[in-house]
Amino acid sequence: MGYYIEVERGVKLYVEDIGEGIPVLMVHGWPLDHRMYEYQAALLPACGYRCIQVDLRGFGKSDRPWHGYNYDRLADDLLAVMQALQLNQVRLIGFSMGGAVVTRYMSRHRGFGVNQLILIGAATPRFTPTSDFPYGTPVTEVDKLIKQAYTDRPQLVTSFGEMLFANPVSQSLRDWLRDQGFAATVHSMACTLYSLRDSDLRADLPCIHVPTWILHGKLDRVCPFPLAVQTQKGIAGSKLIPFERSGHGVFYEALPEFNSILLSILAPSSTP
């Protein structure tokens, strides 16, 4: 079932809500939308989970306001969804930029309603390096992406899709993911790139006090594996699960292994 939830006056997010049982809230990455979790959404309801997928503002079928693309506002949007659906005991999942958004949610809203966190190829704790954080994508490279968003967005989306995987995948799959990027707006893509470039989540990590798993491809070219190592160090008791032969798109590239691990994590008795 798909519907819209108003997260602030005049701004509604699109939500897919499938199945019954333990709620699993899934947040997509840049510049994709809820459809990236298609192969998880086809599995989880059959295993007793309520699979809730949300399109962040400016992406997919959600509204495209001019404002609100920083992590604080995106985290507030998730809170509005949680409250509207009266969710609790939620398994919260975030991929790539979505991993950064759910991390900010856990800090900013003290993990309201969440009892388990899963970060997949997350853009945490920083996407870009600083003098005291030598990991990630150089600021100059992100600036090039922002410029390209305003000058040749189709090529930007296509080029990004080519970085998702470390191994060959079908052209049809690449086209499908590219079409998700095309559903976003120039403005939302550029503004969230600024958020990726400038946000620092190192102080957010110690605020996470629920069981946390970090799933990350060792061959990730978008969010290099050292980011996962630093994220694991910052979240007390968290567990890092590496996928040795996968790149950024581990949710598809290691599909059978990924889904099996995901189900084992979601099991009620699972602990890191």
Catalytic (active-site) positions? 96, 220, 248
Nearest of 60, 48, 55, 56 to residue 24 by alpha carbon: 48
Two structure tokens written together for 48? 């007793």
**Phi and psi, residue 163, nearest 5°:** -90, -10
Angle between helix 97-108 and helix 186-198 axes, rounded to 10 deg: 60
Two structure tokens written together for 38? 């298609």
Nearest of 213, 133, 148 to residue 186 by alpha carbon: 148
Nearest of 136, 223, 146, 127 to residue 189 by alpha carbon: 146
Q: H or E stretch including 81? A: helix 71-84
Q: What's the rounded Cα separation, in Å, for the pair 271 and 68?
A: 35
Q: H or E stretch including 186? A: helix 186-198
According to DSSP, the residues that pair with 4 across neighbouring strands are 14
Two structure tokens written together for 177? 């993911």
Q: What's the rounded Cα separation, in Å, for the pair 75 and 98?
A: 10
One DSSP character per residue, 38-65 reads: HHHHTTGGGGTEEEEEEPPTTSTTS---
